[in-house]
Structure 1
Amino acid sequence: MADDSRLSTSSPNKSIEELTPDKASKLSPEEAKTYYTWSNFFGALMSPDALGRTYVAVQSVVNEERDCKKCDEWKEWLFSNSPIIRFLSSEISKIGPPLDPSHVRCRRCGVTQSGGFDSNYGILLCANTFRTRGKLEDTLAHEMVHAWDHSRFKVDQNNMRHQACTEIRAATLSGECRFYREFWQRGQYKVSEGFQDCVRRRAELSLRARPQIKDEQMAKNAVNEVWDSCFTDTRPFDEIYR
């Protein structure tokens, strides 16, 4: 979880319990270092969820430069070597403005977000959330499906049917719901219809982050309304990629 060699031993030992995850993410790097201590590290390992999230937020501030550098390196590698990223980049350029590494920015984000797409600014990758290049690849592919949808279908940001459809497609086509990711990393053990369950769950979670969605049931209803047509639409792929 932590880069132990960098944990502070000389700074005043401020208790992590004084912070919330949101406040921790807004600390300056120097302020965060006062919480980045051995005692807080081991306390977070044994802590309730909120305390653990707070320490992760502090860690993200301290390691921001390192995380963004690693994210940029992985991003460049994927655009050159990943079949799914290269394919999506090529397909996007056929129907709209090209999307290359210069349109993808690595930044530190809040602890509940891994990426995002904006038609005016491109793709955001939350550098502090990626522990492997594979996870970054899934997130980048997810956001690139949104980019393709925006160019092909002119997605309305305020239309929740449109938003539900692009979230279903992104979860289906990006690879984030393949079996080993669900089984080993998320603890989802259901085999029968597990892929469809994952797509539904992740589409609903994404929708619930939007201010127009008032509650869990509203997100479920939006997904159900467009499920049959959007889950089976694999464009620009011939079939579900993986």
Structure 2
Amino acid sequence: MTQSTPGATGLDIPAAETIAVPSEPKDLNSIKGFEWWRRTMSYKTGFISDPQELKQYENDLQYKKNQDDCKQCYEYRDWALNYSPTVIFMLQQIKKLNVAVSDKNIICDFCNDWKGGGFHPELGVLLCQNRIIDKWHLEDTLAHELVHYYDEAKFKVDWLNLKHHACSEIRASSLSGECRVMNQIKRAGLARFGRGHQDCVKRRATLSVAANPVCKSKEEAEKVVNEVWDSCFNDTRPFEQIYR
């Protein structure tokens, strides 16, 4: 995996060298059965005193968790590809632009940032297996990234142009469903629900643009989002209207 395209989605695909994935245990049997149970109990009760054994245990534990997360992520992905109306529709619309997207372009991996996923114009979509909460979260995340995929195919976005980036972020947050009513209540509770769909979209778009290395500050991100807001928020292509 090459260095991520800066600001491509606000949820950039990390460069391979920045992803801290634990190494595979030399013997997978060492994390199964009685031996795994013994080491787990020793760790929990403080009886592992050898620093090397402790380090290896923690490495194996993280590796096992990553494998489990990876399997679950791919199960959620396959569910979305086969049953999510939004994801299926977006894939059909991207295909109409002569860009083929398959499961080979949508991968799960470990991410060391608090991001649900990312889009790379040459590599495709990354879903952050250690950040995905459930299949509904993955559905929204994948839909978000597929809006970026669509924008790239239709408009040839310059991701280092903050206005281009802001426009795609506004569209992705608005059209993916991640700012729908129930999602806002889940994340923020009823006390903050009054912000509404548009405020949610603005907030998320601003955070993503602010993460673009070309952007100098959050204030600049807010300014750019506001400058392109009307035209980009009202552009619901390829949908007829915003899904809420």
Superposition TM-score tier, normalisation by shorter sequence: 0.7 to 0.9
Q: TM-score, normalised by structure 2?
A: 0.75
Deviation of the 1:151 alpha carbon: 0.5
Deviation of the 1:241 alpha carbon: 2.1
After superposition, where does 1:1-242 map in structure 2 within 5 Å?
8-11=40-43, 31=55, 33-34=57-58, 62-187=64-189, 189-192=191-194, 194-242=196-244
Q: Secondary structure at the match of 2:43?
A: coil
Residues 108-152 of structure 1 deviation map (CA, whole Å, 9 limit, x = unaligned): 101411100011100000001112100000000000000000011
Deviation of the 1:99 alpha carbon: 1.2
What is the identity, as a one-letter code, of the residue corresponding to 1:34?
E
What is the identity, as a one-letter code, of the residue corresponding to 2:70?
C
* d(CA) in 2 for partners of 1:159, 1:32: 45
In structure 2, the CA distance between the partners of 1:35 and 1:108, relative to structure 1 (3 Å rule), is: closer
Query: Is there any run of 5+ residues in structure 1 with no aligned partner, and where?
Result: 15-29, 37-58
* d(CA) in 2 for partners of 1:61, 1:162: 38
CA contact (8 A) 1:32 1:62 kept: no
With 119-128 and 208-217 compared, the bigger mean Cα shift is at: 208-217
Q: How many residues matched?
A: 201
* d(CA) in 2 for partners of 1:90, 1:77: 16
Deviation of the 1:61 alpha carbon: 5.4
Q: Secondary structure at the match of 1:8?
A: helix
Residues 89-118 of structure 1 deviation map (CA, whole Å, 9 limit, x = unaligned): 000000131112111000010141110001
Q: Secondary structure at the match of 2:42?
A: coil
With 158-167 and 175-184 compared, the bigger mean Cα shift is at: 175-184
In structure 2, the CA distance between the partners of 1:189 and 1:75, relative to structure 1 (3 Å rule), is: same
Residues 164-223 of structure 1 deviation map (CA, whole Å, 9 limit, x = unaligned): 000000000000001111112233634555111000000011112211112110110110
| Equivalent residue, structure 1, for 2:7 | none
User: Which structure has more RCO (C-alpha within 8 Å, separation ≥ 6)?
Assistant: 2
Query: Is there any run of 5+ residues in structure 2 with no aligned partner, and where?
Result: 1-35, 48-53
Q: Secondary structure at the match of 1:34?
A: helix
* d(CA) in 2 for partners of 1:69, 1:127: 9
What is the identity, as a one-letter code, of the residue corresponding to 2:160?
N
CA contact (8 A) 2:180 2:243 kept: no
Q: TM-score, normalised by structure 1?
A: 0.76
Q: CA RMSD in A?
A: 2.5
